[in-house]
Amino acid sequence: MNKEDLLKRSAEEREKIFRRYEQGRECAEIDPWEDPGFEVYHATDRYGFIHDKRLPSKVDPQEAKKLQIEVERQKKWLKMLRNWESPQSKEKLHSRVYKGIPNSLRSEAWCKLLQVERVKNANKGKYQEMMRLARKYSTDARQIDSDVNRQFREHLHYRERYSIKQQMLFNVLTAYAMYNSEVGYCQGMSGLAGVLLMYMDEEDAFWAVHILLTDPKYAMHGLYKEGFPKLTRFLAHHDRILTKLLPKVKKHFDKHGLDTILYSVKWFFVCFIERVPFSLCLRIWDIYLFEGERVVTAMAYTILKMHKRSLLKFGDMDSIVHFIQVRLYKDFLYDDDTVIRELEHSLETLRKHRLDHPGPPTNDEIAQRPFGEFLEPCFEEIVGIRKEMFSDNEKRTQEIVTLASDMARESAEKDSHLSVGDSVGYTGSKFSFDPSMDDASSLLDCEHNGSRRSLADTSVTSTADLSVFSTITRSQAHENSLDTHSNMSDNSVGGASSIGSGMPKQCFTSAQSTPRATPHNPSPDVLRIYVPYSPLDTPIASPHNGDVQKMHPCSFPEMNKIRIRIDNDELPTPLVEHGHIKHFRLESPETVDLK
């Protein structure tokens, strides 16, 4: 460009600027980010999350003091990061991590704690290779695309479709699904990678995900692997901790049919993302990256211990779950420093009782396939055809755990002197594991034969909840197949439906949360029907086995009639009656009138 062109361009630019000032606000095109009236400026916190209301214009004195302390700590952390391998740094690392890593230095500190640079240098060019393979062969792209669009939608960097951060998140997840073919993609991984990308660049986040899944210190591979063996083992260990250290809370949960899976999955699955305030979540992550997986177990215990009084006041399952999942996410009721001190104390308490760790991983939690080895997907995987849903082993396991769950609930009822009549409202997720069971994973030791389903139908607080794994909880990992994996069509429909109004909300827990099934090979439909009658004329269903308890003679109007056609099925339908498993098969199709 010669001098005349440069002068001409300068004159045009100058003219545009003057014209905008002449036109004023009404005529000029104003970028909203240049306008101080743009509300997002007033509602965005220091971590990038946009709130529903304007944040206070004046900083709270306590918050201002914390920020000042953090600035002072930055100097110490900068010095420590420059001399990371020195004995002095290693000696001071524990206390400084528990006090909190300064937010401005989390990127470098997290990379140091995870040793990302070492792994990345040992695998140069691998990430780019996986991205190329994903573009050509990925069978998970559809599900990942859907999840990227709903992950951290209230965050400044993720809220816009196809923003830079959304691009990074999509690239990391699709590439890692190719790199770790045994896990592929599981929806909880989007939250994991999403948080890492807030503090790391794209390739660093990719290798950080890999370290969290495969390093024995974290070993999250078993959480996301098909069948979720580590999740099952940690849930059983959490039950043992409650039985030993919080027996009143455990008894209260059992009384109201609240199984661990209903409230704690995001604790174990994604390390408390979207279950505690984000500032506290970051503090937990600081310690988790430093200490390893035992922090998750201790923090789960800490939450229930700190809120024990509140939990014991709630008289139904829904209130307890709402308090743990929603209210504590908005306001934990304690400041972050207090919670971390309690967490440190909990770690020591669990260590004294030898409950700080659930033990070594089982063989099915450890990666078996080599990483980065490309396996070309078959036709069924490419087009999304599902494999056989349930094996005979899975069906037998379902029957066994259903009975075990019933026994645990009946034991809780007996201890609290509850009669059957008192338990009429005892519906929804009514099963709880017998705390004497040493390893719930032994009950689920079966292949899922590729029947993966989606965790999230979804919101900030419901994504990856796995309440689909509740009612018959770890018992019906098969019928309700706790499947967060992505061989699932995004356009799939619910496998269960509820009809009628007036039934208590908890009665529909399992029906509402049944995972979606693919249109290619839908799962067996389950239909739960409620026909309202007046309370005096309604027979009461026993929570023990589904039999109708005849309280007194009642009459049913002719209009209240349901006709159901039952076709012969190749597979016997299991029936639990008075604690004994029976099977029946209809020899010929018939129609049954229910009055």
Band (588; pLDDT cuts 50, 70, 90): very low
Residue 256 has pLDDT above 80, yes or no: yes
User: What pLDDT was estimated at residue 565?
Assistant: 54
Pick the closest to residue 420 from 562, 545, 523 (CA basis).
Answer: 545
**Cβ 301 vs Cβ 226: under 8 Å:** no
pLDDT, tens digit, for every residue of 3-31? 888 888 888 888 887 787 777 766 666 66
CA distances from 191 to 65, 141, 143, 271 (A): 31, 16, 14, 10
pLDDT tens string 190-224:
999 999 999 999 999 999 999 999 999 999 999 99
Sorted by sequence, the CB contacts under 8 Å of residue 300 that are 6+ apart come out as 238, 241, 264, 267, 268
Angle at 199 between CA 198 and CA 201, to 5 degrees: 90
For 42, other C-beta atoms within 10 Å of its C-beta total: 15
Q: Which two tokens stand for residue 511?
A: 């029906």
Quick count: other Cβ atoms within 10 Å of Cβ 595?
A: 10
CA-to-CA dists, residue 174 to 134, 164, 492, angstroms = 6, 16, 21
Instruction: Give, in order, the Cα–Cα distances in Å from 120 to each of 58, 206, 209, 260.
Output: 43, 9, 12, 37
Q: 150-164, 329-343, 402-416: which range is least confident on average?
A: 402-416
Res. 530 pLDDT band, cuts 50 70 90: very low
What is the spatial distance between Cα 207 and Cα 412, in angstroms, rounded to a whole number?
A: 46
> 526 versus 214: which is more confidently predicted?
214
> Left (φ > 0), alpha (ψ -120 to 50) or beta: where does 364 sit?
alpha
What type of residue is 287? I
Q: Could you give the percent of the chain with pLDDT greater than 90?
A: 46
Give the Cα separation of 480 and 500 in Å (integer).
22
Worst-scoring range by mean pLDDT, 386-400, 412-426, 502-516? 502-516
Torsion of CA 6, 11, 13, 14, to 10 degrees: 140
Does the pLDDT at position 297 exceed 60?
A: yes
Dmax (CA) of the chain: 102
Q: pLDDT by residue (tens digit) across 153-182?
A: 899 899 888 899 999 999 999 999 999 999
C-alpha to C-alpha distance for 81 and 54, rounded to whole angstroms: 36
Average pLDDT, the chain: 74
